[in-house]
Amino acid sequence: MSRPLSNVDPALRRCWHPVARPAEVTAQPRRFLLLGEPWVLYRADGGIVAFADRCPHRHTPLSIGSCEAGVLQCAYHGWKFDSSGACVEIPALGNGAALPPAARLSPPAGLVEAHGMVFLAPEPPIAPLGPIPEADDPSFEAGELPTLAVRASVGLLADNFLDVAHFPFVHAGTFGADEAAEVPQYAVARDGWSFTTSYEHSFANREDPGVATGLRPLTQNRRLVYRLDAPFHLSLRIDFIEAGGTNVIGFFLQPESAERCRIFTTLWRDDLSGDPARMAEAVDFEVAVLREDLLVQEAFDELVLPLTPTAEVHTRADRTTLELRRVLSDLVRAAEGDAP
C-alpha cells in the first residue's frame, strides 16, 4: 500500500523540479513556490542563485528585500548576504563586529538551468534530470507556451500527458475528431527512473503541404515516443514517417502547493524552416489542446495521484499510466530509504 501522491509529498523534496523560466529571474529577489515552500531566486555573479526565502534573523521573506551588485539585503534590519549565502554585514552591530556563524542563508541541494527552465532540488535528488536531446540540437527551434498556473495535481497532469485513450473525448475540438478510440497495442520500457512507450499509427496529416499538391496521401504514418523521467519531466517525440520532420513536446510540472502547480510546455520542431508565424501557430494550437485537458484536470475533487494499483481500475490501454504509478511508488520508497 502506498499513500496517494500529493503535490507536497515529502518524497518530492528528493527530486528535481522546474521552478522558473530563466527570464523570470532578474537581479532583484523574487519568490517561487515549490512543494509548499518558498524559495528566493535572483541573479548574482553571472548566474542564478537560490535560497530558502527566510532570513535567519527573524524569518522575514528575503524576496521583499533588495539586491545590489549581487548582495542581497533583508528588508527588515538590513542584514546583507553575499551570493554564497554568507552574512557580510549586520548594520545594528556597526563596522568590524564579529558576525554570528549561523547567520547564513540555506541553499537548495541542487540548482541548474536546462532546456529553457530553472530546476531546483531541495534535497539531494534520487532521479536525474530528464534529458531533451532536441533542446541542444541546432536543427530544432524552440517555441515556449505561456506558463500556466492552475489548480491541479502534478501527478494527475503527468497521468494525463501520458494517457492515449482520451483524445477523441477531450480533444474533439482540436485534433481528437480524427483519432480512433481504440488504443493500439504498445509496450513500455522501463530504464531506472524513466520509461518510454512507443507505437506507430496512421493519421490524417492536415499540416503537410505535400498533401494539397498531391505529393503524398492524406493518411500517413507517425511514430510516437512518450517518455517520463521521474517525477514530472515528460516528453512526446513524434516522427513523421512519410513527410519527414520531428516534433517534440516537453511538459514539465512545478508542484507549488497542495492545490496549485505551474505547467511549463515547450515545443521543439525541425520542420518549420525558421518561420516564426508557423511556430506561433503551433504554440497557439498546443495551448488550445492544453486548455481542453485542463477542463478535466481542474475538475478533480481530490488533487492526488493514487499509487496503490487496486485504488483504480486499469485496462491494457493504461499500461503507460500504470507504469507512472510504479515509478513514482518506487521513488517514494527510495526517498524513505527502502531500495525500490
**Interface positions with ligand FES (CB under 6 A):** 55, 57-58, 60, 74, 76-77, 79
- Cell numbers found for residue 130: 530528464
Q: Report the residue number, 92 or 295, with the smaller CB distance to ligand FES.
A: 92
Q: Report the residue number, 79 or 252, with the smaller CB distance to ligand FES.
A: 79
Nearest distance in Å: CB 160, ligand FES: 42
Spatial distance between the Cα atoms of 171 and 158, rounded to a whole number of angstroms: 17
- Report the interface residues with Fe ion, using CB under 5 A: 293
Nearest distance in Å: CB 173, Fe ion: 11
Q: Are strands 148-151 and 260-269 parallel, antiparallel or unpaired?
A: antiparallel
Nearest distance in Å: CB 36, ligand FES: 22
Nearest distance in Å: CB 25, ligand FES: 21
Among the listed residues 93, 251, 279, the one whose alpha carbon sits nearest the alpha carbon of residue 162: 251
293 binds, among ligand FES, Fe ion, none (CB under 5 to 8 A by kind): Fe ion
Nearest distance in Å: CB 72, ligand FES: 10
Q: Report the residue number, 141 or 159, with the smaller CB distance to Fe ion.
A: 159
Q: Report the residue number, 12 or 50, with the smaller CB distance to ligand FES.
A: 50
Among the listed residues 188, 257, 199, 179, the one whose alpha carbon sits nearest the alpha carbon of residue 12: 257
Q: Report the residue number, 49 or 211, with the smaller CB distance to ligand FES.
A: 49
141 binds, among Fe ion, ligand FES, none (CB under 5 to 8 A by kind): none
Q: Report the residue number, 76 or 285, with the smaller CB distance to ligand FES.
A: 76
77 binds, among Fe ion, ligand FES, none (CB under 5 to 8 A by kind): ligand FES
164 binds, among ligand FES, Fe ion, none (CB under 5 to 8 A by kind): none
Spatial distance between the Cα atoms of 29 and 72, rounded to a whole number of angstroms: 8
Question: What is the per-residue DSSP string for 283-304?
Answer: HHHHHHHHHHHHHHHTT-SS-E
285 binds, among ligand FES, Fe ion, none (CB under 5 to 8 A by kind): none
Nearest distance in Å: CB 293, Fe ion: 4
Spatial distance between the Cα atoms of 254 and 132, rounded to a whole number of angstroms: 17
Nearest distance in Å: CB 27, ligand FES: 20
Question: What is the per-residue DSSP string for 110-130?
Answer: EEEEETTEEEEESS--SSPPP
- Cell numbers found for residue 14: 528528493
Q: Report the residue number, 93 or 177, with the smaller CB distance to Fe ion.
A: 177
74 binds, among ligand FES, Fe ion, none (CB under 5 to 8 A by kind): ligand FES
The letter for the amino acid at 264 is F
Cα torsion angle, 82, 86, 90, 94, sign: negative
The residues that bridge with 223 in the sheet, in sequence order, are 200, 239
58 binds, among Fe ion, ligand FES, none (CB under 5 to 8 A by kind): ligand FES
- Cell numbers found for residue 221: 504514418
The residues that bridge with 221 in the sheet, in sequence order, are 202
Listed in sequence order, the residues at least 6 apart from 227 whose beta carbon sits closer than 8 Å to its beta carbon are 130, 194, 195, 196, 197, 234, 235, 236, 237
